[in-house]
Amino acid sequence: MQLEDNIKENAMRAILAAALISCSSVVNAATVSIDFDDLGSGVTIGSTYSGQGVTFVDAYTIPAISGAAGTAIYHAQTGYRTDPSDPIGAVFSTGVSSVSVTGYDVGVNGFQLLAFDAGDSLIDSSQIIGVDVGTSGAPTDTTTLTVTGLIHRVEFSQVQDIAGDGILFDNFVFEETAVIPLPASAILLLTGVGGLGFMARRRARTA
């Protein structure tokens, strides 16, 4: 009898666990897009967008180059020359699944985007090298790079340090994952399954 009761109780636990997993694993990817146009020129960004889940490091706004409307960003100390040893950074308040950044005037110094996890390990990277110094109309002049993974922070910069070739950045976009709250029907389901388990244990004690 005791063995039969244990089997029933374990079965109830398995059903309850399966219900919890199926209900709580539903997620919704929310896209956050920042084009910096709301700030205008001459702003050190820092925690300006912390309410949207990201804080920038060494990012400063500047008018976008010819052919790109609005406001872009460059390095707060080194300006157009964003050296790979001193990149612009962005740190997220919670993990995100992808990040995209657009580079303007991508030339021979190139453009790279690096992604790091919460343990500060490099988990993804993307880069491109352009064909000229200055805006030349080449297809690589305006390039958007994307990295994916469970990302805690990113760095973006040029790849090389050849004199005379600068870069601007814009259109910072990331995907954050949010758990959808359980609907009332799911809560009732879990309550009912839990109640069945309680009733089974009660019958076993009174038998």
- Name the least confident of 41-50, 84-93, 137-146, 152-161: 137-146
Quick one: pLDDT at residue 202? 52
Quick one: pLDDT at residue 131? 84
pLDDT in tens, 180-198: 554 555 445 445 545 545 4
Question: What are the residues whose beta carbons fall under 8 Å from the beta carbon of 120, sequence distance 6 or more?
Answer: 152, 153
Quick one: pLDDT at residue 205? 54
Quick one: pLDDT at residue 25? 45
Say if residue 115's pLDDT is above 70: yes
Q: CA–CA separation, 108 vs 119, rounded Å? A: 32
Please say whether the beta carbons of 185 and 1 come within 8 A: no
Confidence label for 141 from pLDDT (cuts 50, 70 and 90) = confident
CA dihedral 60→64→65→68, nearest 10 degrees, is 150
pLDDT in tens, 1-51: 554 555 556 555 555 445 444 444 445 679 999 999 999 899 999 999 999
Quick one: pLDDT at residue 198? 47
Please say whether the beta carbons of 90 and 169 come within 8 A: no
Quick one: pLDDT at residue 207? 54
- What's the whole-number mean pLDDT along residues 163-183? 82
Looking at per-residue pLDDT, the higher value among 168 and 15 belongs to 168
Q: Name the burial class of residue 106, with classes exposed (0-12), middle (13-18) and buried (19+) by CB atoms within 10 angstroms of its CB.
A: buried
Say if residue 138's pLDDT is above 60: yes
Say if residue 173's pLDDT is above 90: yes
Please say whether the beta carbons of 146 and 98 come within 8 A: yes
